[in-house]
């Protein structure tokens, strides 16, 4: 198959996927949250702060932390419901002893959003 046909097929498949997700009430965009960080009060890594910046309620917020160099990760359900303008914090205690450290990746997932919000813990 020529590269033009391959590209056309890819674009058609991508558009069909986006249409299907939009029709079933799922946004292809990440959740409308910001991710920020603060030092742990106990001096153990960073605390992840997830803030809902929208006028919409966000449900079943899940946070995944990944250390790609060490191939380790942890996940936690941060909250069932994040109201507009509200925040939730997740640190090593909530992650079950996985310590969020500078350079690691944080992914935030929520119901009705197909892609995660991705952030990197600053060094």
Task: List the Cα angle 68/48/62 in 5-degree steps.
Answer: 75
Residue 72's pLDDT is what?
84
- Name the superfamily (CATH) of residues 31-120: Immunoglobulins (2.60.40.10)
pLDDT digits (tens, 9 = 90+) for 74-102: 999 999 999 999 999 999 999 987 899 99
- Give 10-residue mean pLDDT values along the chain (123 residues): 65 63 73 96 91 96 91 93 97 90 96 96 91
pTM of model > 0.75: yes
Q: How far apart are CA 34 and CA 113, in angstroms?
A: 15
By the 8 A CB rule, do 59 and 83 touch?
Answer: no
Residue 14's pLDDT is what?
65
Q: How far apart are CA 31 and CA 92, in angstroms?
A: 23
């Amino acid at each position: 198959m020529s590269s033009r046909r391959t590209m056309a097929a890819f674009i058609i498949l991508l558009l069909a996927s986006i249409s299907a997700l939009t029709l079933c009430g799922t946004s292809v965009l990440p959740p409308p949250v910001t991710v920020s960080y603060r030092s742990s009060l106990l001096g153990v890594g960073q605390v992840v702060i997830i803030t809902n910046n929208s006028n919409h309620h966000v449900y079943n917020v899940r946070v995944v932390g990944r250390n790609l160099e060490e191939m380790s990760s942890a996940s936690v359900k941060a909250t069932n419901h994040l109201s507009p303008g509200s925040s939730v914090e997740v640190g090593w205690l909530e992650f079950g002893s996985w310590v969020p450290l500078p350079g690691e990746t944080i992914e935030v997932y929520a119901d009705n959003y197909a892609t995660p919000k991705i952030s990197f813990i600053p060094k």
